[in-house]
Amino acid sequence: MIETPNALPHVDFGGKPLAPKGESESQSKPLVREPALERAKRLANLLASIVECSDDAIVSKDLDGIITSWNRAAERIFGYSATEAIGQSITLVIPEDRQSEEPEILARIRRGERVDHFETVRRRKDGSLITISLTVSPVKDTHGNIVGASKIARDITEQKRAQEQIGILAREAEHRSKNILSNVQAIINLSQSDTCDRLKEVITGRIQAMANVHSLFVASRWKGAEVSAIAKQELAPYLQASHDKRIRMEGPQTVLDPTAAQAIAVVLHELATNASKYGALSNAKGRIELAWSRSEDGKLIIRWTELGGPKVNAPERKGFGSRLIEGTISPLGGQVRFDWRAEGLVCVIAVPT
């Protein structure tokens, strides 16, 4: 005898399913099917709830562009209430210079086409403009006829602004990198010495001067650097050694753009290095006076004066340091004048700002 597995229902001769073995008919629960109309209503309410709770503006319109629905996100994004928007043309939120977009979109919808992620600009109730990503789909009736369109609009204004800012920063970083490399190349080309070790020391010191001023740029978010801050940074070793007595600095607060600030940092480094080896800072009595001001035509005038050092004789030819200073200032449209007085060097620099 073949037994029917317990997992299968027992059927009587009339074809009626019986309760499984060990379970009475009163214990079995028949499946209750939801009526089609109620199910349709439930799904419609669920869809309506999703539309209302969406973060994106969801709008429907007929084939004439008249708004027929307007969710809460549309109210928030565009500033019009549903009462204000429904019954109005969708051109309500389209700027004058983009009115031609709507007929083109409607023409595509009538052909049954879908518009995906179209980036454009729309106007809020207060007149402000926002950037949106727009998706438009045809809406069909029960017979498959296209009767309108649904629009999903996502406000991407902040996203676009962030992308533009990244692009600006990338271009700025490229410009600054090229400028830095150009300055380093100029320093190398203008640097000379009698030995390889000495040349390495000279180049290292000049590049370090540039690196020092870059820390000031970071603090100002690359807007530039203030002249007194540049001077204190480049003269820091000598200020500490002399307890500020041998170096006096004076001038109005003046912020230089990064290009000019780098140049002045290298120049002050060069003047201080020369003074420590051959000039006013090479003995115990010498001192430096550093002053800056603005000329009537807006140029920054920097005056470096050495006093009390060894007697100075004017060089018969320009030294490496002099050529470096002139080669650094000249590309800025500036001028340099060296006055080799017996009591010490006077260097006057004029830089457009």
Q: What is the pLDDT of residues 113-129, one digit of tens each?
A: 999 999 999 999 999 99
Burial pattern 235-246, b for ≥16 Cβ within 10 A else e, equals beebbeebeeeb
Mean pLDDT over 42-47 rounds to 64
The answer to the question of residue 132 being in a domain is yes
Mean pLDDT over 316-325 rounds to 82
Q: Which domain holds residue 176?
A: 160-351
Q: Considering only 35-49, 81-95, 110-124, 206-220, which range has the smallest mean pLDDT?
A: 35-49
End position of a domain, from candidates 130, 155, 180: 155
Give me the pLDDT at residue 132, please: 95
Please indicate, yes or no, whether residues 201 and 76 belong to a single structural domain of this protein: no
Burial pattern 96-110, b for ≥16 Cβ within 10 A else e, equals eeeeebeeebbeebe
Q: Considering only 3-12, 199-208, 245-254, 257-266, which range has the smallest mean pLDDT?
A: 3-12
For residue 204, what pLDDT band results from cuts at 50, 70 and 90? confident
For residue 225, what pLDDT band results from cuts at 50, 70 and 90? very high
Give me the pLDDT at residue 320, please: 77
Q: Report whether 217 contacts 258 (CB < 8 A).
A: yes
**Identity at 48, one-letter amino acid code:** A
The answer to the question of residue 58 being in a domain is yes
Give me the pLDDT at residue 215, please: 78
Q: Domain of 340: which CATH number?
A: 3.30.565.10
Please indicate, yes or no, whether residues 278 and 191 belong to a single structural domain of this protein: yes
Mean pLDDT over 159-163 rounds to 89
Query: Could you give phi then psi for residue 141, rounded to 5 degrees?
Result: -85, -175
The answer to the question of residue 177 being in a domain is yes
End position of a domain, from candidates 155, 177, 202: 155
Q: What is the mean pLDDT of the chain?
A: 83
Would the pLDDT of 15 be above 60? no
Please indicate, yes or no, whether residues 132 and 179 belong to a single structural domain of this protein: no
Positive or negative torsion for Cα 13, 19, 21, 24: negative
The answer to the question of residue 25 being in a domain is no
Q: Report whether 146 contacts 140 (CB < 8 A).
A: yes
Mean pLDDT over 23-51 rounds to 63
Mean pLDDT over 153-158 rounds to 93
Query: Could you give phi then psi for residue 200, rounded to 5 degrees?
Result: -60, -40
Number of domains in the chain: 2
Would the pLDDT of 46 be above 50? yes
Give me the pLDDT at residue 2, please: 37
- Per-residue pLDDT tens digits for 229-285: 999 988 888 876 555 578 999 999 999 998 899 899 989 999 999 999 889 999 888
Give me the pLDDT at residue 246, please: 86
Q: Report whether 77 contacts 103 (CB < 8 A).
A: no
Please indicate, yes or no, whether residues 184 and 60 belong to a single structural domain of this protein: no
